[in-house]
């Protein structure tokens, strides 16, 4: 990774008082073959990356796509590593590093258990309540809603999501949806040190397939839905589904809460190997009959720009009415799921009613249908959604609260699942009155080709639709604002909370939320003060000047 790219990455967190573990004990516990002297050697942590390694830690060297991590063993030793843990192939590369080498069959598969032992964060250790959410869409929203409700209950919270990591009020930007196992266990150890009582965790399919949550048993695991995504990582939807299903085994979770809103929910509930409670929102469920059979039902109330009212009804006549602070029936579904998760985790129904009934969930969902405009002019929402299903649900939600036209501004990720791009274009044009295609993270792909595929999918669905194409997105949002007026709405899907664009491997500072505000201001519309970090010094990147060269200075 280049220095420029690395400079925009958030830090890897460690406990402030790291453990001291015997390397000899580690070797004996995990059956490692040892080359070198390990008598009296102690380690204080464990990591996969030399860039994040701290003196006193063990470096775990695994085989990558192009190179073996053991090639960097000498670099790790120079940075203070006390040992290298690797496989047989890596041992041959690491023997000249000057530190002991421990050989195991599959170091990546063992990383979670190694990390749990080093940091004392395994299933039998004292930990906060752990709440996991998986699914194609809604993972981040459920995680942030859990955190908000827990705070209303007076609980000290931690969070690990696509958007952010939170530790008892401290906010750190995330690197991955779910961190690597070594980072995750270190994070849990730090949370425990700081008195965190409950942690909401977003768990991706890749996290399960790539051993990132190994060594952890969640108190409650939840399933939101399944739709077309990540077929760059999985052969087909069945393989993708099976990857997520792995969360609902006794070695991963103690209990499960499953939404029946998507067709896959019923199969998850039937095949889960832990006790299951179900929840459904009939207004959006794919199968109304299946939804009607759920233990808990989410009934949709009034939908407004600043939130969606709903009532959660369950066994024994229990009912709770509240408001989720974002638009969309799917967001009410996410909130209902979060409430049932907390019940299954042991929080009292009466306490939840006292905190939420006839009130509002006090949660901040970064980049999730986030309204960035003011009281006058077009409503502008910035959203992280990047799948056809997410587009469909969010556009429908915006349509219901918009008296005028709905414009969608969208791009697609480069070097990611290209099979969904036609469907992204189709759902975008079917749910909007005007479609503007732009760039998102091109990575190493040609952005012109990405845009062309989105437009092709849209044109097939609606040949007569009003479709515009602008690049870069700094210009696209200015043009989009010029196409709408009072009572209209813009949904800018894709960038959400992210504060960068990935262009040929470089993370360039960027904020869709800030660019939208500046485009509105340049058009003469009032905008509120932002409640998020702004990566551009004021005046350096006026959205009213689309001709300025990209990237703009940070």
**Contact predicate 45/186, CB 8 Å:** yes
Res. 224 pLDDT band, cuts 50 70 90? very high
Min mean pLDDT across 410-419, 448-457, 530-539 is at 530-539
User: Is the model's pLDDT at 123 over the cut of 50?
Assistant: yes
User: Is the model's pLDDT at 89 over the cut of 80?
Assistant: yes
b/e for 130-158, b at 16 or more Cβ within 10 A? bbbbbbbbbbbbbbbbbbbbbbbbebbbb
| Mean pLDDT for all residues in the chain | 90
Which helix or strand (DSSP H or E) is residue 506 part of?
strand 506-509
- Looking at residue 11, its pLDDT comes to 65
Span 41-64, pLDDT tens digits: 999 999 998 988 999 999 999 998
What does the pLDDT average to over 98-112? 96
Report helix angle 473-482 to 512-522, nearest 10. 40
Q: Residue 72: how many CB atoms within 10 A of its CB? A: 23
User: Is the model's pLDDT at 196 over the cut of 90?
Assistant: yes
- Looking at residue 261, its pLDDT comes to 96
Min mean pLDDT across 321-335, 361-375, 448-462 is at 361-375
- Within 8 A by CB and 6+ apart from 57, the residues are 43, 44, 45, 46, 47, 80, 81, 82
Euclidean distance between the first and final Cα of the chain, in Å? 20
Res. 385 pLDDT band, cuts 50 70 90? confident
Res. 260 pLDDT band, cuts 50 70 90? very high
What does the pLDDT average to over 137-159? 96
- Concatenating the DSSP letter of every residue in 313-346 gives E-GGG-EEEEEESSS-HHHHHHHHHHHHHHHHTT
Q: Residue 96: how many CB atoms within 10 A of its CB? A: 10
Domains of the chain (ranges, CATH numbers): 20-119 (3.40.1390.10), 129-356 (3.40.1190.10), 370-522 (3.90.190.20)
- Cα-Cα-Cα-Cα dihedral of 512, 517, 518, 523, to 10°? 130
- Looking at residue 494, its pLDDT comes to 86
Res. 309 pLDDT band, cuts 50 70 90? very high
- Looking at residue 174, its pLDDT comes to 61
User: Is the model's pLDDT at 534 over the cut of 70?
Assistant: no
- Looking at residue 9, its pLDDT comes to 52
- Looking at residue 548, its pLDDT comes to 36
Residue 216, classed as helix, strand or coil, is: coil
- Looking at residue 499, its pLDDT comes to 81
Q: What does the block give as tokens for 388?
A: 């056809």
């Amino acid at each position: 990774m280049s220095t420029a790219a690395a400079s925009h990455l958030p830090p890897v967190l460690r406990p402030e008082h790291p453990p001291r573990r015997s390397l000899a004990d580690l070797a004996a516990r995990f059956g490692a073959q040892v080359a070198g002297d390990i008598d009296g050697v102690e380690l204080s942590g464990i990591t996969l990356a030399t860039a994040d390694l701290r003196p006193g830690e063990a470096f775990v060297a695994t085989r990558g796509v192009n190179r073996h991590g053991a090639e960097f063993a000498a670099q790790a030793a120079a940075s203070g590593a006390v040992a290298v843990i690797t496989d047989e192939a890596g041992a041959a590369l690491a023997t000249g590093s000057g530190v002991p080498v421990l050989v195991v069959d599959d170091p990546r598969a063992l990383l979670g258990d190694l990390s749990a032992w080093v940091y004392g964060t395994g299933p039998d250790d004292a930990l906060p309540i752990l709440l996991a959410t998986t699914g194609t869409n809604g993972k981040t929203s459920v995680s942030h809603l859990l955190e908000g409700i827990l705070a209303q209950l007076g609980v000290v919270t931690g969070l690990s999501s696509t958007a952010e990591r939170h530790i008892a009020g401290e906010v750190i930007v995330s690197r991955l949806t779910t961190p690597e196992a070594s980072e995750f266990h270190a994070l849990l150890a730090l949370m425990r040190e700081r008195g965190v009582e409950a942690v909401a965790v977003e768990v991706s399919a890749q996290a399960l397939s790539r051993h990132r949550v190994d060594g952890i048993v969640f108190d409650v695991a939840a399933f939101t839905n399944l739709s077309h995504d990540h077929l760059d990582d999985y052969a087909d939807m069945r393989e993708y589904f099976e990857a997520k299903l792995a969360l609902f085994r006794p070695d991963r979770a103690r209990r499960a809460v499953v939404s029946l809103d998507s067709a896959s929910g019923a199969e998850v509930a039937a095949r889960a190997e832990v006790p299951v409670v179900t929840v459904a929102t009939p207004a959006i469920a794919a199968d109304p009959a299946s939804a009607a059979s759920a233990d808990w039902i989410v009934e949709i109330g009034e939908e407004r720009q600043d939130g969606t009212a709903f009532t959660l009804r369950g066994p024994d006549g229990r009912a709770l009415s509240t408001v989720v602070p974002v638009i969309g029936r799917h967001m009410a579904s996410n909130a209902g799921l979060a409430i049932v998760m907390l019940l299954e985790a042991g929080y009292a129904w009466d306490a939840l009613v006292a905190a939420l009934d006839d009130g509002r969930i006090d949660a901040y969902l970064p980049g999730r249908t986030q309204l960035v405009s003011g009281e006058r002019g077009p409503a502008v929402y910035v959203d992280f959604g990047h799948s056809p299903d997410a587009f469909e649900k969010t556009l429908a939600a915006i349509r219901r609260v918009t008296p005028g036209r709905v414009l969608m501004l969208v791009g697609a990720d480069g070097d990611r699942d290209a099979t969904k791009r036609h469907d992204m274009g189709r759902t975008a044009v079917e749910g909007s009155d005007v479609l503007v295609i732009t760039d998102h993270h091109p990575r190493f792909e040609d952005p012109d080709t990405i845009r062309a595929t989105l437009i092709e999918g849209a044109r097939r669905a609606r040949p007569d639709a009003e479709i515009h194409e602008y690049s870069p997105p700094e210009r696209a949002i200015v043009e989009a604002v010029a196409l709408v007026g009072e009572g209209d709405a813009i949904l800018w899907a894709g960038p959400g909370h992210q504060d960068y664009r990935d262009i040929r491997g470089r993370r360039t500072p960027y904020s869709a939320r800030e660019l939208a505000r500046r485009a509105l201001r340049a058009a003469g519309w009032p905008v509120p003060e932002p409640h998020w970090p702004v990566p551009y010094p004021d005046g350096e990147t006026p959205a009213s000047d689309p001709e300025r060269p990209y990237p703009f200075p940070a």
